[in-house]
Structure 1
């Protein structure tokens, strides 16, 4: 039932795997292995290449499913136990933040599930550290590649094209990040405002009608001042997930309880009570793993009138380079069981050198 399989994708070489057979489904394989389907998908998605992510079910091309190890010690091919490597933190149990080393490219996938409707957006984003001031506020430049795919293809509707064209005004985006790695402000509002003149002319030259006018009005309302712009992009999944502020001081048992807000619904914050912890040892890939796991806090008025609270979950896993403490991979899944269930899944993964060259 359990296999160690060798294929070209290096991630699969490091883990125990299950070979997918014709007719297999996520639920059926989970039952066969005696695990929860959600946990099987969660562990696989943490370590697999982004094209092999399991969504509602297995993709047609998927050959192997990565399995969680049964023991903390992993055996090598020679049968010798792999020695666990303890992570290194600062003296106050703080996870170091060394942003000066960040100049990376990432591939991003957002999956939005509203009821039975699923939309998947894929893009590439670059992150570059620029400077730091005396108060330890860091300046980063964020840029987005022009190629964006929605449900596996380039945008092919007027509304999608307009939305992406209007969003071009933001990039390159310069942001301010505090000493804990949390995004707190926009730095280049004036540049963005000046950039809008050119993009607006391009929209008017190519598009016409009420839809184009509505996008222009919406963008100009967002650009009214720096505060309205910050509020407008506060729901940006990449900025909220990547600059989450995980570089904090932890307790001696490497964990603490926290409340986290996340824009599960656009321009509306959802609150979650989570346990935030760092794995005390490096994982199989010698990465530092930081987890945030918890439940939705229902702040609606319905509870006062005897209605059962809405339920939801927040699960995030950050994987950091053990030398630079820079992020290499993030998996986040956030959901609320409304009358119509709502779930957002975010996967961020460092682009490898060969992928960058093939795209240049």
Structure 2
């Protein structure tokens, strides 16, 4: 199995190649793995200091079905949650971390546009894990807060469609499954919509322009950009507890593998601001980043293709992740 560094394919510069539909191909290698470090920073009132910070890791394993053309199974695990650079210590944080351990690993089947079309396919495994986690929570915590959390999670996890809907409020989920494998026009752009949960537990749609740069990057990736700017609606002002004339910008940048189109890195910057005397004054800002820590690509043989998913996960190297969290 070949280990792939973050600067592989440096000689792959040149004009990008799109498929017959003038789109980027999504065709990740079977049994390939990729580990991402995720960092989310929240800023308030234009301050440079971070008001809140979340760090965690996502471990992705790709499988491909032997008997279905252009169908992949993606298995995500989510680990190492840190809040403001420390392990969860408040009760609410600990409950969220334990709940995360029930939901993940999570498997979905996707097509050649990286679109989920069968929903969550290992819901039974999640239900079994939740039973064990719920018992641990009941043994460890007492009081109405823990009871309400268990009731809420039970409702969310027991219904597969409810759980899928809840994932739409996850930032990494929205970034990874943002539509990027669609037809681009002659200018390598098209109007698009990006969903990003800048309001707690609520996905927000951003209308904007998406484009792909004409040349591969120095490190062998497609570079896709998305930009949006709009005024805050009255409903959004209420949800954000804001008043007055406000605007918001969202800018996103994605690096996709030249070979296979799998997400390598992503950055999303959202800014809520007002204008005074011609100057933009930031009120709230969110900076999201997903960066590749490690990946591996095995030789592609027919015996590597699957008829059913498996649960194996690679052992990750944490050096890059911990350096960012603790450095």
**What's the TM-score, normalizing by structure 2?**
0.75
- Determine if contact 1:144/1:172 at 8 Å carries over to the other structure: yes
Q: Distance in 2 between matches of 1:333 and 1:283?
A: 21
Partner of 1:347: 289
Asked if residue 108 in structure 1 is aligned to residue 38 in structure 2, the reply is yes
Partner of 1:88: 17
Deviation per residue, 1:232-271 (Å, 9 max, x gap)? 2221111111121211111121111112232211332322
In structure 2, the partner of 1:140 is 74
Aligned pair in 2 of structure 1 residues 352, 83: CA closer, same or farther (>3 Å)? closer
The gaps in structure 2 that reach 5 residues or longer are 1-5, 238-242, 275-280, 297-314, 320-327
Aligned length: 277
Deviations 1:300-330 (A, max 9, x none): 4699xxx976311111111122233222211
CA distance in 1 between partners of 2:111 and 2:168 (Å) = 16
Cα shift readout 1:165-188 (whole Å, capped 9, x = no counterpart): 122110111123343224463222
Match of 1:331 in 2: 267
Contact 1:272 / 1:297 at 8 angstroms: preserved in 2?
no
Q: Which moved more, 1:107-116 or 1:326-335?
A: 107-116
Offset at residue 343 of structure 1 (A): 2.7
Task: Please say if 1:314 is aligned against 2:250.
Answer: yes
Moved over 6 A (4+): none
Query: 1:135 offset after TM fit, Å?
Result: 7.4
Deviation at 1:227, TM superposition (A): 1.7
- For residues 176 and 236 of structure 1, do their structure 2 counterparts lie closer, same or farther at Cα, with a shift above 3 Å needed? farther
Please list, as runs of the form range in 1=range in 2, the aligned pairs for 1:1-360 lying within 5 A after superposition: 85-101=14-30, 102-115=32-45, 118-132=51-65, 134=68, 136-145=70-79, 147-183=80-116, 185-296=119-230, 298-300=232-234, 310-337=246-273, 341-352=283-294, 356-357=316-317
Q: Select the structure of larger CA radius of gyration.
A: 1
Tell me whether 237-246 or 184-193 shows the greater mean CA deviation: 184-193
Q: Which one has a larger percent strand, Structure 1 or Structure 2?
A: 2
If asked which structure has higher relative contact order (CA below 8 Å, sep 6+), I would say 2
Give the direction of change, closer, same or farther, for the CA distance of 1:83–1:325 in structure 2 (3 Å limit). Answer: closer
What TM-score does the superposition give when structure 1 sets the normalisation length? Answer: 0.68
- Report if the CA contact (8 A) 2:249-2:271 is conserved: yes
Q: What SS does structure 2 have at the residue aligned with 1:351?
A: strand
